[in-house]
Amino acid sequence: MSTPDYAQQLADKAARLQTLFTGLDTPELEIFPSPPSHYRMRAEFRIWHEGDNISYAMFEPGRKAGSASLIKLADFPAASPAINRLMPALLQAVAAVPVLQNRWYQCEFLSTLSGEVLVSMIYHKKLDDAWQAAARQLQQDLGISIIGRSRGQKIVLSQDFVTEELEVAGRRFRYRQTEGSFTQPNAAVCQSMLTWACQSAQGLGGDMLELYCGNGNFTLPLSQHFRRVLATEVSKTSVAAAQWNIEANGCDNIAIARLSAEEFTEAYQGAREFRRLQESGIRLADYAFSTVLVDPPRAGVDDDTLQLLAGFDNILYISCNPDTLRSNLEVLNRSHRIERFALFDQFPFTHHIESGVLLRKRSTSE
């Protein structure tokens, strides 16, 4: 798509967001665009078989997957340059090796800005020693990492992660991103989000609580602006990645608690004790929280956690669903005012909107 097409879709998103937030006292919307092409670090495709020929495939939205809705792909302009370079080479190499081609069903790519690529090859057959030998050779020939999957099988030939490097305010942060776990798909916009969050955190001081921290995407750069950070995450895979990321980046003022937002609320309010906190040596009484960062799933923040957030002086809210953000702000707006309001175009040419809000506690006079 051309740049003018992109500019118009971004303007439409901004207009939609501003219309949705009518009635709330919001500052001027800050807009962070995406590159109009080669912005996705992840991509996945079906593998379409026609006799001895194979191709990457997608299907028309809203229609049953089949020949009538088939869209064959030679490349995918939305995906990173590394994925686009690899796509034809991988297909050509697999087509020459029957044990790799036979019953290959789906292909998933995970890449980095530096060009590292992890490929998950998914099959409708049991993966045997012959497949492993051929896949190891393919991995070596193409300079990639490969995972083989089929029902009840996951074969990691070398590693199940890539290591991304993101630059925030002149410092580079290394992130282990594991196959199958959540990572921000648009690395360029992710860097804009992290920079915006760090700018918003300047001068807040004290300690920070982070809910839904994932692999520590926001945690690492934001830790520079606070005395201590306590981050929570329920996924074991994400917690393991976050712990590696903390150590690799030398961020020694961060502690990770494997709790959901709802569980942390219970612990913080003294309603329930959690052995996971005790085993990690985390004492909530040791923290003087000034700020909370929340990056919830599309369903937004639950009612009990909203009450928890309302007790903090500063709230950084990153949202992947403007409708639930709007609903949550109806509650938070009673205790806090909106200081900054941003649109991050993580998903160009789709209806999805990622946004960010900085809220500050209202004074008693307000």
Name the catalytic one among 108, 165, 354, 366: 354
Tell me which of 44, 320, 330, 339 is the catalytic residue: 320
Residue 354 falls in the annotated catalytic set: yes
CB-based burial, 132-158: b 16+ in 10 Å, e otherwise: eebbeebbeeeebbbbbbbeeeeeebe
320 counts as catalytic: yes
| Active site residues per annotation | 320, 354
